[in-house]
Amino acid sequence: MDGVIVIDKPAGKTSHDVVREVKKIWGIKKAGHTGTLDPLATGVLPVCLNEATKLAGFLAGEDKEYRATMLLGVTTDTMDTDGEIIRRSDDPVSEDAIRSVMLRMVGKIKQIPPAFSAVKHGGQPLYKWARKGVFPTVKPREVTIYHIDVEKISLPHVTFRVSCSKGTYIRALCSDIGDALGVGACLSGLRRVRSGMFSEKMAVALRNDVVGDAGKDLARKIMPMAELLPLLAAIEIKDQCAAKLRNGWQPSAEMLQGHDLPLLKAGDMIKFMSRGYLLAVAEMLMPVTPLSDFHGNTQVARIIRVFNY
């Protein structure tokens, strides 16, 4: 059982809780999610199973999309409504001002990770430091807000949809918007509607009674590994070459010659397929265009991951 199951995470559970339940359903030892959702949040949580855990790093790096609700006039220590209130403001804010400030957030911005987050400092997550009353200085990180669409303003609440790069904290975004408006703000509701290629239409809910054989229906929702990483150039190789790759052989110019490939450059990722299965992911060491100029045994790509079934 190798692939990805997209879980519709319920509020109140950690992402780790969901992974543990998935393991219990099918009795598997290897599973992991592709990006943490806070306990307050719901929505798309891709969970990699068995060999697909080797792809978690690739999938976690993709863009995300959320539907969020922001509470204006309330500042908390966790930047969401689960935290302790540290400031309130009743100052009036106009809808035009709200839309104007949110529009300014689109593009590349700097974010300081929340004190209560999994970002590590000195080998420990920030939330562990915060629980001790220690708040280390953390450097701002650059993230990208691709688009913000305000869906509803019903003060003090503002509901909006945002698409962003990996590593973006919507809690921090709400806090920054509140600070720019001069009244403070925190996150009061969050749903992830997309994580890379995985959408909420693909997400399935976990039930407490789904264990053992009862998980067979749920298993039909598992996306096979061959369907993952759809944007990578795919190279179908023969059994003999597949065996060599599994034994540590690196891709040569001869292996790639004769395949219809896009204009790949050094650093681009490709995937090797065998009999309809994802066999390996590799990084190009040189452009495709001069491959014919090299000796057939010249290494042209570096294997990053090899998968076994």
The stretch 96-121 carries a mean pLDDT of 87
Instruction: Please state, as a whole number, how many other Cβ atoms lie within 10 Å of the Cβ of residue 195.
Output: 27
Same domain? For 95 and 170 the reply is yes
The stretch 167-190 carries a mean pLDDT of 96
Q: Is residue 134 part of a domain?
A: yes
β-bridge pairing 277-284 and 269-274: antiparallel
Provide the CATH number for the domain around residue 15.
3.30.2350.10
Same domain? For 71 and 146 the reply is yes
15-61 pLDDT, tens digit each: 999 999 999 988 899 999 998 898 899 999 999 999 999 999 889 88
β-bridge pairing 185-195 and 42-49: parallel
Same domain? For 121 and 153 the reply is yes
Q: Is residue 187 part of a domain?
A: no
Residue 199 has pLDDT above 60, yes or no: yes
208 is in which domain, residue-wise?
3-62+197-225
**Residue 21's pLDDT is what?**
92
Q: Is residue 114 part of a domain?
A: yes
**Residue 134's pLDDT is what?**
67
Provide the CATH number for the domain around residue 265.
2.30.130.10
At 105, the pLDDT band (50, 70, 90 cuts) reads very high
Same domain? For 15 and 101 the reply is no
**Distance of alpha carbon 71 from alpha carbon 82, whole angstroms:** 12
Cβ neighbours for 39, distance < 8 A, ≥ 6 positions apart: 11, 12, 13, 14, 82
Residue 278 has pLDDT above 60, yes or no: yes
Q: Is residue 55 part of a domain?
A: yes
Q: Is residue 283 part of a domain?
A: yes
Q: Is residue 23 part of a domain?
A: yes
Same domain? For 126 and 92 the reply is yes
> Number of folded domains in the chain?
3
Same domain? For 87 and 169 the reply is yes
Q: What amino acid occupies position 261?
A: L
Same domain? For 218 and 280 the reply is no
Q: Is residue 186 part of a domain?
A: no
**Residue 215's pLDDT is what?**
66
**Residue 213's pLDDT is what?**
53
Q: Is residue 139 part of a domain?
A: yes
Q: Which residues form the catalytic set? A: 38
Same domain? For 53 and 72 the reply is no
Tell me the Ramachandran region of residue 43: left when phi exceeds 0, alpha when psi lies from -120 to 50, beta otherwise. Answer: left
Same domain? For 271 and 219 the reply is no
**Residue 294's pLDDT is what?**
64
Q: What is the mean pLDDT of the chain?
A: 89
Same domain? For 87 and 170 the reply is yes
**Residue 219's pLDDT is what?**
83
Q: What amino acid occupies position 15?
A: S
At 291, the pLDDT band (50, 70, 90 cuts) reads low
At 109, the pLDDT band (50, 70, 90 cuts) reads very high
Same domain? For 118 and 40 the reply is no
Q: Residue 202's beta-bridge partner residues?
A: none
Same domain? For 52 and 100 the reply is no
**Residue 149's pLDDT is what?**
97
Q: Residue 6's beta-bridge partner residues?
A: 46
Radius of gyration of the chain (CA): 23
